Amino acid sequence: MIAITGATGQLGRLVITALLEHVQADQVVALVRDPLKAEDIAERGVDVRHADYSQPSTLGTALVGVEKLLLISSNELGQRVEQHQAVIDAAKAAGVKLVAYTSVLHADTSALGLAEEHRQTEHALQNSGVPYVLLRNGWYHENYLAGVGSALAHHALLGSAEDGRISSASRADYAEAAAVVLTGSDQAGKVYELAGDDSYSLSELAALITRQSGTHVAYQNLPEAEYRKVLLDIGLPEPVAELLADSDSAAAKGALFDDGKQLSGLLGRPTTPVAVSLQQALATG
């Protein structure tokens, strides 16, 4: 059986959908913090089990009979190393044969502040003796597209990435790649650097938004501290504003760029262009 942590999250739900294209529902286990949020997943015939990263006592029973596990990195910044360690320990105790972990692009050398918890998790996997495969995911298109409404309202896309190039892909692309790895053979020991086939600067993204929406949007680059303040002013929690401003700043130095095309290699098709995801974002508002 193949289990997915964080199965009620945005990536987790897409992974479940992608997995069901490859295997029967009775081969899939959704590990969730809150089973009440997973009723629709259970209706698809998937076994839903309670598994909270911060309650290690839930993890052992949740992993009974699981051969392969996708550990989707937690979104609880600052607690992730401890949480992921608890899952790795439970996987080892349960005899899981492969752990796939959603890390970050070029985690070992990345200048992104958020890469630190991923690096430590990768080390924990290395030290555990459990066979593992690293899915070093690049940026989601959706990270920048979430700001399109505000960009249209203000005729400005704000950031700190200067002319750094961003090789993002859709969340669904990364989910499908995870399903390919989880249902493939001989994955232990592999490290995938996953990113979109094409890259863009934020000026180019602003031009694309202008073309597709008919509303003029210009990219305005801000110093990191100023961008962080803008994010705080629009109500983002401090750690998230910090993370986004830091990530943009690192993007200016190439931290979100990759041209290895390993993601499309796994998918067996080109990655979803940002223009397509933008069209969807504009259509759904």
Ligand X SMILES: NC(=O)c1ccc[n+]([C@@H]2O[C@H](COP(=O)([O-])OP(=O)(O)OC[C@H]3O[C@@H](n4cnc5c(N)ncnc54)[C@H](OP(=O)(O)O)[C@@H]3O)[C@@H](O)[C@H]2O)c1
Q: Is 206:152 a contact under the CB 8 Å cutoff?
A: no
Q: Counting contacts by CB under 6 A, is residue 247 touching ligand X?
A: no
Give the CB-nearest residue to ligand X.
9
Instruction: Choose the binding region for ligand X from 92-100, 135-143, 206-214, 271-279 (rule: CB under 6 A).
Output: 135-143
Q: Calculate the alpha carbon distances from 166 to 84, 108, 176, 196, 266 in Å.
A: 27, 18, 20, 9, 20
Biggest CA pair distance of the chain: 56
Q: Is 79:54 a contact under the CB 8 Å cutoff?
A: yes
Q: Report in angstroms how near the CB of residue 25 gets to ligand X at its nearest.
A: 19
Q: Tell which one of 120, 143, 203, 279 touches ligand X (CB under 6 A).
A: 143
Q: Counting contacts by CB under 6 A, is residue 221 touching ligand X?
A: no
Footprint of ligand X on 94-113 (CB under 6 A): 102
Q: Which is nearer to ligand X, 54 or 150 (CB)?
A: 54
Q: Counting contacts by CB under 6 A, is residue 6 touching ligand X?
A: yes
Q: Tell which one of 1, 10, 20, 279 touches ligand X (CB under 6 A).
A: 10
Q: Report in angstroms how near the CB of residue 67 gets to ligand X at its nearest.
A: 20
Q: Rounded distance, CA 57 to CA 62, Å?
A: 9
Q: Report in angstroms how near the CB of residue 282 gets to ligand X at its nearest.
A: 20
Instruction: Choose the binding region for ligand X from 69-77, 91-99, 218-226, 227-235 (rule: CB under 6 A).
Output: 69-77
Q: Counting contacts by CB under 6 A, is residue 170 touching ligand X?
A: no
Q: Tell which one of 8, 85, 249, 264 touches ligand X (CB under 6 A).
A: 8
Footprint of ligand X on 33-52 (CB under 6 A): 33-34, 37, 52
Nearest by Cα to 263 from 137, 156, 163, 179: 137
Q: Report in angstroms how near the CB of residue 17 gets to ligand X at its nearest.
A: 13
Core vs surface per residue 186-207: b (16+ CB within 10 A) or e: ebeeeebbbbbbbbbbbbebbb
Q: Which one-letter amino acid corresponds to residue 243? A: L
Instruction: Choose the binding region for ligand X from 39-47, 132-140, 158-166, 176-184 (rule: CB under 6 A).
Output: 132-140
Q: How many residues bind to ligand X according to rule CB under 6 A?
A: 23
Alpha helices in the chain, H assignment, sequence order: 10-19, 39-43, 56-62, 80-94, 115-128, 141-145, 148-154, 171-183, 202-213, 224-233, 238-252, 262-267, 274-284
Q: Tell which one of 24, 43, 54, 223 touches ligand X (CB under 6 A).
A: 54
Q: Counting contacts by CB under 6 A, is residue 74 touching ligand X?
A: yes
Region of residue 99 (phi > 0: left; psi between -120 and 50: alpha; otherwise: beta)? beta
Which residues sit at the interface with ligand X, rule CB under 6 A?
6, 8-12, 33-34, 37, 52-54, 72-76, 83, 102, 137, 139-140, 143
